[in-house]
Structure 1
Amino acid sequence: MCAICGMVNVAGLEERAVEDLLRVRDAMVHRGPDDAGLFRDAHAALGVRRLSVIDVAGGHQPIPNEDRTIWVAFNGEIYNYRALRAEAEAAGHQFTTQTDTEALVHLYELHGDRFLDGLRGMFALAIWDAPRRRLLLARDRVGIKPLYYGALPNHTLLFASELKGLLRHPAVSRTLDPDALDQYLLHEYVPAPRTIVRGIHKLLPGHYLIADAQGTRTERYWEIPDGPPQCEWTLESAATAFRGLLRDSVQHHLASDVPLGLLLSGGLDSSAIAALAAPCRPPAFTIGFDEASFDETAPAQRVAAHFGLEHHTVRITPSDVGDILDQAVAACDEPLGDSSMIATWFLSRLARSRVTVALSGDGGDELFGGYPTYLAHRWAAHYDRLPAFVRERCIEPLVRRLPVSTANMSFDFKASRFIRGAGLPAAQRHSLWMGAFGPTEKTRLFSPALTAATAQNRRAPESIVTAPVTRDVADQMMALDRRTYLPDDLLAKVDRMSMAHGLEVRVPFLDHAIVEFAAGLPAALSLRGGRTKTVVRRALQGLVPPDILGRPKKGFGMPIAEWLRGSLRPRVASQLAPRRLARHGLWNPDYVQQLLREHWGGRHNHAKLLWTLFMFETWHEEYLR
């Protein structure tokens, strides 16, 4: 795993380009603490910080072809690199290392841009073709590894693995994008290709970028096939196929020349990875909380014991969070309102104390219908058919009078979320259920200046949904999550928090063969009898303990609601104080103070709203102040 960066100007780089690029590269040393590399010619410069995983001693980057006219900088892992290397050798190419990276430059020579079709793995890469003065940037199919880019005032293209690297370049303007902020407040993350900084973009998953004398352009080389199912699956046939695909993926993801472990929650997906990786005896790592409704150490311990795995745990306390909060936010690049980023920070730190690589169960919920939200969309259709007076005068007033709980996924939380999205189109409803600030809250939160700045560009979630409308609404929402929440929240969180500690996290569920398979399954197979992930549960029968198979979805959450009323209260009160908010003038401070009073007084659970604001304010002071 690495950090990559670079600059390209087909008219020629300025004299100080290397000096500026080194600042970008070395701002990402946490991603690659083992080695640093640089290539430069008259038109391009590539930089790399390397975390050594494959061919530890010999994998210095950037790596050229035989005549040193084509160079590659690479972040990630290619799991089928041995077969690709054999193909290139059979065609006459000579190798000087044992890394997966070197295969890429020769495959590019053999196949051009279409070499991306043959890659199996997670990656962000840059290839400089000097004779053609042509740069190729590419990102893996699902968006596991990040890649940011932007144009400098002198028409130089600048790119890097992290936004914080780009911001170290003196010509990059640190200007907030108000439309991206608008999206962040709704989703708790900024959907690609936007970033929170105006003029900087994320390369979309499954896309590549070309920069040459004709300009800069992006193209898609792969997309999730969310069309009609290509065959008639039964539960048994789907479970059998999935079990084989996951077994194969885990075996490929276990390849490593450095110590490897497992992130274990005790949930279905990480337990599946544990079952299939158990013959290699990876150590397992789990975090826990004193708050019982959030704690999963007991089931994780049972899974580890069942498979004979060495098990390491750490418990997170509110004081622990206060100690690392600024570090975690700084690692995020962009504001991220997903509170599980803090848990991921501690889990990554624990794992990195013993291993360099860890397998994770991330991605299974988005592929196989693991969130209760998908079931709720079906219930919403029935709810919306109730007479208006029953909904508006009976059910909804009762829900608003429920006692407020701070427990994980409490009934009052789920019920209030459900009625919040009632009557809306499915994509809007989904965004409100999953996110933070809806249109009503934004109207009260935004200052007049921010209201004016965002009035012309409200991105509708429906524009992202590509699944045919004839399919189940759950299919459509799973397609939405695979394109937005998965890469821009979940995978971004895991990448930034793990790489902050120099830990490489691999996600076997997101092997593209599994993604393609899952996208072809109807939701009716995965959501049956009021239960989620029925295909996965059937596939894992006999592999994981029976009590794990029957566990409901718990989620990787944190007791933020309680902590905001307790030990984190002074910090949040200070960060959201009117005098501090006045520095940027984005919010209505009276509304923010109202949210605080209502949450502290126990009248409402505003944890998602307050945490989303708190994370933005902490990020803003670190990056843009």
Structure 2
Amino acid sequence: MCGITGIFDTQRKREIDRAVLHRMNESQFHRGPDEGGLHVEAGLGLGHRRLSIIDLSTGQQPLYNEDQSVCVVFNGEIYNYQELIPELQALGHVFHTRSDTEVIVHAWESWGEDCVKRFRGMFAFALWDRNRETLFLARDRLGVKPLFYALLLDGTLLFGSELKSLLAHGGLSRDIDPLAVEEYFALGYVAEPRCIFRQAKKLSPASTLLIRRGQPIGEPKAYWDVRFSLDSKISQEDACQQLTERLGESIRLRMMSEVPLGAFLSGGVDSSAVVAIMAGLSADPVNTCSIAFADPAFNESEFAKMVADRYRTNHHTDLVESDDFDLIDTLAWLYDEPYADSSAIPTYRVCQLARQHVTVALSGDGGDESFGGYRRYSMHLMEEKMRAFLPHNVRQPLFGTLAKLYPKADWAPRIFRAKTTFEGIARNSVEAYLHAMSVIRDPLRTNMYSKSFKAALGGYRAIDVFDRHAKNANTDDPLALVQYLDLHTYLIGDINTKVDRASMAHSLEVREPLMDHPLVEWLATLPSSLKIRNRESKFLLKKAMEPLLPNDVLYRPKMGFSVPLARWFRGPLRERAHGTLLSERVLDSGWFEPDYIRQLLQQHESGARDHSTPIWTLLMFDAFCRQVVEGGSVTSPGIAA
């Protein structure tokens, strides 16, 4: 696991300032503290920070082919590289290292742009082919590893694993994109390929970008997508057996390491399944790490201990106090873009704990998306039955009116909180799912925005992100549709972003066996009835794991990995929220309606409404502006103050 960065003159061969490239590279020192390397030639500079995992002695980067005409910097792991080496040797390639990085160089020479289709793993890399005057950027199928890039006005292309490396160049404008702000306040993150700054972009997952010097830069090219065919006729018994075998293969591949290795163990089904299978593949006890919360409403540590005791792991637990919110500014700096998932706090802490014992940790991330684990999936299926029962011209006015009349009862038991359900039923399937997913829903978002910000949006709404992906889903199955949407949005923009930045902050490599793309493809062929049955989520995974895990772990209510925001903003964070959100910096920024911000705070503190998530989202936006935007001002060009 590493950090990569670079500068490419797309038009000519102007000299690259080595000091600038070094500064960009060192901005990502945390991603690879073991070694740093630069390659500089006319019109090109590549930088790499290394976290040594495989081939400790000879895996340094940048890495070259035999005549040094091809050079690569790479972040990630190619898990099937040992299978590819003999095939490439048979084609005449000579290997000088035992690293997966060298496979990329020779695969490019033999297979060109299609080389990425042969790789099984998590990766982002930049490859320079001097003979073709070509720079090739690529990102893995499920967006586990990030890659930012920006084309400056003078034709200079910048790229890096984190946005901070582009900012370290000094030439990137920090002009905020209003459309990215709308996406952030709807989703809690800025969705690929957009970036918070107008001039920069993220390379989308499963995409490549080929840039030839002297030619216009085209659009990224997609090389993979998951197809929910749901056409497998496999029996439940055979599906359980195949799933266990496929999980075993995926986990075995990710256990290759020349440094200490372990796993996160939350006590949930996904991480527990990973640990159980790891234990069966390892001659030594597995190292496991978990977080315990002081607040019992958020604490799953007893279930993690059940699994740890059963498999006699070397288990380490760290206690996160209920008021562990001093990370706000640290997280804002770490994520570079505004990022509103408050579970970034415990994720940061569990990575911090894990790094004290291991350099590589396996996680259970990706299981909810592929196995059908989120509670919102069952709610969506219930709403879909109602939407199918009533035509839109009846449903929209009926449930739209009910939603307006029904009080917002955040204080009431869940069964009586019908307003959100009515709002969802009044919408179409995609709009309803965005409504369920949004951190700040319409119309609250609309009320919160200033007139000048609305004008700058020009009618743009975050639903465009979901609509764009829904057009490519090619499925009428309601569960498959929302799984597809999550695999292209939430998994990448929220989960993978959270884990990458939190782990890399501590120089920890996290591997993702449940995001193995052959596994994801296979699961997409299974009928939805094997994923959710009688409102039981992750049906197939739980059935397959019954011989390996206690029922108390498999069939208890899902808790999630969260923090007590509502209590924070009525207690220890009350003054901070007031001082920040009612400051001149925020109220006079031009983004928001001041009276509505005051109303949010008042309603939350009185207990009339739970606005903890909107308040947190606003706090993190302000922290981003102070930490990342120059001058500490939240005023954006194009937004009237």
TM-score after normalising by structure 2? 0.92
Q: CA deviation at 1:393?
A: 8.5
467 and 211 in structure 1: CA distance in 2 versus 1, 3 angstrom threshold: closer
Partner of 1:299: 303
Gaps of 5+ in 1: 405-409
- Equivalent-residue separation in structure 2 for 1:399 and 1:469 (angstroms): 37
Partner of 2:625: 620
Per the alignment, in what secondary structure is the counterpart of residue 447 of structure 2?
helix
Which of these residues, 400, 418, 441, is aligned with residue 438 of structure 1? 441
Q: CA deviation at 1:320?
A: 3.0
Bigger drift between 545-554 and 36-45 goes to 545-554
The 5-angstrom pairing of residues 79-478 of structure 1 reads: 79-212=79-212, 213-279=214-280, 280=282, 281-322=285-326, 324-383=327-386, 400-401=408-409, 403=411, 411=414, 415-459=418-462, 460=464, 461-466=466-471, 471-478=476-483
- Equivalent-residue separation in structure 1 for 2:429 and 2:215 (angstroms): 41
Deviations 1:445-500 (A, max 9, x none): 11111010002433522221146665221111111001111111110111011101
Which of these residues, 565, 570, 577, is aligned with residue 565 of structure 1? 570
390 and 166 in structure 1: CA distance in 2 versus 1, 3 angstrom threshold: closer
Bigger drift between 228-237 and 55-64 goes to 228-237
Partner of 2:504: 499
- Equivalent-residue separation in structure 1 for 2:416 and 2:36 (angstroms): 48
Deviations 1:384-422 (A, max 9, x none): 558989968889867634635xxxxx7279755434423
Asked whether the 8 Å contact 2:370–2:483 carries over to 1, the reply is yes
Q: CA deviation at 1:577?
A: 1.6
What letter matches 2:29 in structure 1?
V
- Equivalent-residue separation in structure 2 for 1:621 and 1:390 (angstroms): 45
575 and 78 in structure 1: CA distance in 2 versus 1, 3 angstrom threshold: same
Asked whether the 8 Å contact 1:150–1:157 carries over to 2, the reply is yes
211 and 470 in structure 1: CA distance in 2 versus 1, 3 angstrom threshold: closer
Q: CA deviation at 1:13?
A: 4.3
Partner of 1:25: 25
Q: CA deviation at 1:89?
A: 2.3
What letter matches 2:57 in structure 1?
A
Q: When the two structures are aligned, how many residues end up with a matched partner?
A: 619
10 and 403 in structure 1: CA distance in 2 versus 1, 3 angstrom threshold: closer
180 and 402 in structure 1: CA distance in 2 versus 1, 3 angstrom threshold: closer
What letter matches 1:248 in structure 2?
E
Asked whether the 8 Å contact 2:53–2:257 carries over to 1, the reply is yes
Q: CA deviation at 1:11?
A: 3.5
Asked whether the 8 Å contact 1:122–1:144 carries over to 2, the reply is yes
Asked whether the 8 Å contact 2:122–2:140 carries over to 1, the reply is yes
Partner of 1:587: 592
Q: CA deviation at 1:230?
A: 4.2
Asked whether the 8 Å contact 1:578–1:589 carries over to 2, the reply is no
Asked whether the 8 Å contact 2:403–2:423 carries over to 1, the reply is no
Bigger drift between 566-575 and 297-306 goes to 566-575
Asked whether the 8 Å contact 2:16–2:43 carries over to 1, the reply is no
Partner of 1:524: 529
Partner of 2:57: 57
- Equivalent-residue separation in structure 2 for 1:414 and 1:159 (angstroms): 46
Bigger drift between 451-460 and 612-621 goes to 451-460
- Equivalent-residue separation in structure 2 for 1:440 and 1:55 (angstroms): 54
- Equivalent-residue separation in structure 1 for 2:460 and 2:407 (angstroms): 34
- Equivalent-residue separation in structure 2 for 1:417 and 1:306 (angstroms): 41
- Equivalent-residue separation in structure 2 for 1:468 and 1:156 (angstroms): 36
Per the alignment, in what secondary structure is the counterpart of residue 285 of structure 1?
strand
- Equivalent-residue separation in structure 1 for 2:112 and 2:474 (angstroms): 36
Q: CA deviation at 1:214?
A: 2.5
583 and 84 in structure 1: CA distance in 2 versus 1, 3 angstrom threshold: farther
What letter matches 2:279 in structure 1?
A
Q: CA deviation at 1:227?
A: 4.2
Asked whether the 8 Å contact 1:43–1:133 carries over to 2, the reply is no
Per the alignment, in what secondary structure is the counterpart of residue 569 of structure 2?
helix
- Equivalent-residue separation in structure 2 for 1:80 and 1:428 (angstroms): 39
- Alignment identity in percent? 38
Asked whether the 8 Å contact 2:500–2:510 carries over to 1, the reply is yes
- Equivalent-residue separation in structure 2 for 1:108 and 1:382 (angstroms): 49
Q: CA deviation at 1:353?
A: 1.2
- Equivalent-residue separation in structure 1 for 2:40 and 2:105 (angstroms): 17
Asked whether the 8 Å contact 2:322–2:564 carries over to 1, the reply is no
Which of these residues, 480, 484, 489, is aligned with residue 479 of structure 1? 484
Deviations 1:139-194 (A, max 9, x none): 00110000000101210111100011111111100110000101111111111100
Q: Does 1:534 align with 2:542?
A: no
Deviations 1:62-117 (A, max 9, x none): 00001011001000011111111222223332222221111110111111111111
Bigger drift between 258-267 and 93-102 goes to 93-102
Deviations 1:245-268 (A, max 9, x none): 111000000011111111111111
Partner of 1:42: 42
Per the alignment, in what secondary structure is the counterpart of residue 218 of structure 2?
strand
431 and 234 in structure 1: CA distance in 2 versus 1, 3 angstrom threshold: same
- Equivalent-residue separation in structure 1 for 2:577 and 2:97 (angstroms): 51
Bigger drift between 357-366 and 336-345 goes to 336-345
What letter matches 2:103 in structure 1?
A
Alignment root-mean-square deviation, CA: 2.1
What letter matches 1:246 in structure 2?
L
Deviations 1:198-251 (A, max 9, x none): 111010110100110332224445333324334323322322222111110000
- Equivalent-residue separation in structure 2 for 1:226 and 1:7 (angstroms): 36
- Equivalent-residue separation in structure 1 for 2:423 and 2:339 (angstroms): 22
Deviations 1:310-368 (A, max 9, x none): 1111121244322x221122111211111111111111111111111100000000011
Bigger drift between 119-128 and 412-421 goes to 412-421
414 and 157 in structure 1: CA distance in 2 versus 1, 3 angstrom threshold: farther
What letter matches 2:309 in structure 1?
A
Asked whether the 8 Å contact 2:399–2:423 carries over to 1, the reply is no
